[in-house]
Structure 1
Amino acid sequence: MSTIQFIGTTPNALISEITNAIIPQLKLELSREFQPKEPTKYLTRLEVCELLQIDLSTLHRWRKDKVLTAYGIQNRVYFKRNEIEELITKNQLI
């Protein structure tokens, strides 16, 4: 950010400097920080198995061992896609 000197500055010059220098940079910084949130994408058990190329029994075991977190609505089971992707990234082999 640039330095503004108030000595010998007229009110109009001060307003002009704020408008031209500070506000655009502030808008840029705020737009970087406040990006719109992506909606959560939920996957079914079969979609997770297809994505990870595993069997349903493996998925059940991972749920039981708390490797993956399942979310249920009545008799339906869902998984958050971003949690699946985080698990893959976290367990990435180097």
Structure 2
Amino acid sequence: MAFVMPKAMAATSVPVPNDGALRRREVSAGRFAIYRFRGTRSSEREVAVLGELQAWLAARGLSVVDAMPVYGYFDPPWTPSVLRRNEVMLRISEPAVR
């Protein structure tokens, strides 16, 4: 689980987790390719949509910088699966300056 803090909030003002299993980390800005999908969360679905995103990137000659995908699940569990908005994200290289 992750929380996104506003850019205006200083890193020193972000609350310290009171559970040792939780940690804070800053993720640098970058360019991401994002694939939106619907449905419930499952490892099979994650593998399938990641493959679709990777195929889309390869077909366009775009380079993945970090192969570790980030999944976003935005809706509460009581939302019907057909209405759930999910995303898989991969960090890609910045385009060359022309």
Shorter-chain TM-score: which interval? under 0.3
TM-score by length of 2: 0.21
Bigger strand share: 2
Which structure ranks higher in relative contact order (CA pairs < 8 Å, sequence separation ≥ 6)?
Answer: 2
Tell me the TM-score normalised to structure 1 length: 0.22
Answer with 1 or 2: which has the greater Rg. 1
In terms of fraction of residues, the more helix-rich structure is 1
